[in-house]
């Protein structure tokens, strides 16, 4: 499968496609350090849990390389500030925190600042490669669940843009398409930020794969008409009990799928599992600016002064999840047991 490059390390800087400008403009921007990287994650120029993790790894390495001291204690202190800046950007995707922990461990394993810097850069590249391989495996494994002509709903954006790899939920669907299974793909627009209509639609168009764009509220209609055989979504964080945080609207889709007896799959790399959280309800949910709800592309669509809620993610309880597709296998019920075996 040809891979779209969502993020690329150019030595002293990163190059990303600016996802906030798609699909209108295909613009690449350069990030010249950890502060730039943190800003890009916060402003969602780069987004999607695995891609955020990869960007965090590179951002921390860039930050480490910019520290101007040979004294290892001082270096560690400044590195902590770099890591704090990167991890304070978005709270829900666990990839950010797991990668930060991993980079901290690498840095703690040495005394020579030059060597630590080199190890951190190598680690960031390794993380990127691992995510790429993991998402390729997920796509291949998940495609085994798809039969010829399956109607599939997917939510948000989980393709190469979101993963810096092959994609998770969308990776599975693209893989099945390339196997000739002719899936009928329904793309949820994914209000409020429209990652479905802006990004997933763009990625599928680029790949020449046919699909139908629907609004989020149309999912039940198509399920009732028996046009849907399964739903596949990604994840931002999966707790040890299998409860999953993903883009707002995922929970509603899962309940709907359950009511219609339709399998509901989560596709995610194991880097998205937070083994430290017993329950999904412990996952912090990011609350974003009200303008994402009151405006579309800068145009106001609601009266001035209305009260707005804008949780960016919701939690889907395990009972609505048929299986979790990871690079290490497909986890079925009891999810907690399957997840436990991965530790």
326 sits near ligand MRU (criterion: CB under 6 A): no
Are 237 and 138 spatial neighbours (Cβ–Cβ below 8 Å)? no
Question: In the bound complex, what is the minimum distance in angstroms from residue 95's beta carbon to ligand MRU?
Answer: 8
d(CA 340, CA 92): 21
Which of 171, 91, 89, 87 lies closest to 131, judged by CA? 171
Question: In the bound complex, what is the minimum distance in angstroms from residue 83's beta carbon to ligand MRU?
Answer: 20
- Name which position in 87, 119, 121, 195 contacts ligand MRU (CB under 6 A): 195
Across 275-297, b (16+ Cβ under 10 Å) vs e yields eebeebebbebbebeeebbbeee
- Among the residue ranges 47-55, 66-74, 99-107, 217-225, the one whose residues contact ligand MRU (CB under 6 A): 47-55
Residue 93 burial class via C-beta count within 10 angstroms: exposed 0-12, middle 13-18, buried 19 and up: buried
160 sits near ligand MRU (criterion: CB under 6 A): no
47 sits near ligand MRU (criterion: CB under 6 A): yes
What residues pair up with 233 in beta bridges, in sequence order?
266
Catalytic residue at 236?
A: yes
> Catalytic: which of 188, 236, 274, 314?
236
Pairing between strand 323-326 and 264-267? parallel
Kindly list the distances between the CA atom of residue 182 and the CA atoms of 65, 105, 142, 176, 202, in Å, as whole numbers in the listed order: 47, 45, 15, 7, 19
- Name which position in 99, 238, 312, 339 contacts ligand MRU (CB under 6 A): 312
Which of 135, 127, 137 lies closest to 55, judged by CA? 127
Q: Which two tokens stand for residue 11?
A: 């030595």
- Interface of this chain with ligand MRU, residues 76 to 95, rule: CB under 6 A: 93
- Name which position in 16, 50, 106, 186 contacts ligand MRU (CB under 6 A): 50
Contact string (CB under 6 A) for ligand MRU, positions 233-252, x = contact: -xxx---------xx-----
192 sits near ligand MRU (criterion: CB under 6 A): no
- Name which position in 119, 154, 158, 326 contacts ligand MRU (CB under 6 A): 158
Catalytic positions, written as ranges: 236
Contacts with ligand MRU by CB under 6 A lie at 47-50, 93, 156, 158, 162-163, 168, 195, 234-236, 246-247, 312
């Amino acid at each position: 499968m040809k891979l779209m490059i969502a993020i690329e390390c150019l030595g002293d800087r990163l190059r990303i496609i600016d996802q906030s400008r798609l699909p209108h403009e295909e613009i690449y921007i350069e990030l010249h350090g950890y502060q730039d990287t943190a800003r890009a994650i916060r402003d969602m120029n780069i987004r999607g849990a695995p891609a955020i993790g990869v960007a965090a790894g590179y951002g921390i390495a860039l930050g480490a390389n910019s520290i101007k001291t040979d004294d290892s204690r001082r270096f560690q202190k400044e590195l902590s500030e770099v890591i704090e800046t990167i991890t304070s950007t978005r709270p829900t995707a666990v990839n950010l925190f797991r990668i930060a922990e991993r980079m901290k461990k690498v840095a703690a394993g040495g005394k020579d600042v030059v060597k630590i810097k080199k190890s951190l850069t190598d680690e960031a590249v390794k993380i990127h490669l691992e995510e790429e391989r993991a998402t390729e495996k997920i796509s291949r494994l998940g495609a085994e669940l798809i039969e010829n002509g399956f109607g599939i709903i997917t939510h948000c954006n989980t393709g190469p843009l979101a993963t810096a790899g092959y994609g998770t939920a969308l990776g599975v669907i693209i893989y099945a398409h390339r196997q000739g299974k002719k899936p009928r793909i329904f793309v949820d627009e994914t209000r409020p930020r429209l990652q479905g209509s802006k990004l997933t639609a763009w990625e599928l168009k680029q790949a020449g794969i046919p699909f139908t764009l629907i609004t989020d509220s149309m999912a039940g209609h198509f399920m009732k008409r028996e046009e849907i055989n399964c739903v596949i979504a990604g994840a931002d964080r999966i707790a040890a009990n299998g409860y999953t945080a993903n883009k707002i609207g995922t929970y509603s889709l899962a309940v709907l799928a359950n009511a219609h007896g339709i399998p509901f799959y989560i596709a995610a790399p194991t880097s998205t599992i937070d083994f430290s959280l017993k329950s999904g309800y412990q996952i912090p949910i990011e609350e974003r600016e009200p303008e994402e709800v009151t405006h579309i592309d800068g145009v106001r669509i609601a009266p001035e002064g209305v009260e707005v809620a804008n949780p960016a993610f919701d939690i889907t309880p395990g009972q609505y999840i048929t299986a979790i597709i990871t690079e290490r296998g497909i986890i079925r019920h009891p999810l907690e047991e399957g997840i436990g075996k991965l530790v």
